[in-house]
Amino acid sequence: MTKDSFNEYIWEQFSFLGSITIRKMFGGAGIYLDSVMFGLVDQDTVYLKADKSTIPEFEALGMGPFIYKAKGKPVRISYYQLPEDILEDQDQLTLWAEKAVKVSRK
């Protein structure tokens, strides 16, 4: 699957939320609802915005944060990997996406 086709797939999966856009950034892409970024895509992996109330849910499923290198050092940001099986389950995806959007709007 190419980056563009994966991003199109992601758009389709999240389109139930409303006006979804996928914007390329650096080597990946941001997932936006209206003008709020609630997720990101990097190397065919989806990450959702998380905070102290939702991080334990990601960690309970063995999912970790998005980490990139800056000046040779790892940098963690508050986006956590979404399990692939949730991406395929519309009911679960709805729950996780709505939480990520809520966290992003804080």
Q: What is the CATH number of the domain that holds 31?
A: 3.30.1460.30
Predicted TM-score (pTM) of the model is: 0.92
From CA 66, how far away is CA 76, in angstroms rounded?
6
Residues in a beta bridge with 73: 70
Domain of 95, in residue numbers: 3-104
Q: How many domains does the chain divide into?
A: 1
Closest CA to 100 of 3, 6, 5, 13: 13
Residues in a beta bridge with 10: none
pLDDT of residue 1: 57
**Per-residue pLDDT tens digits for 14-68:** 999 999 999 998 788 999 999 999 999 999 999 999 999 999 999 999 999 999 9
Residue 59 structure tokens: 């960690």
**Degrees (nearest 5) of the Cα angle 10, 76, 33?**
30
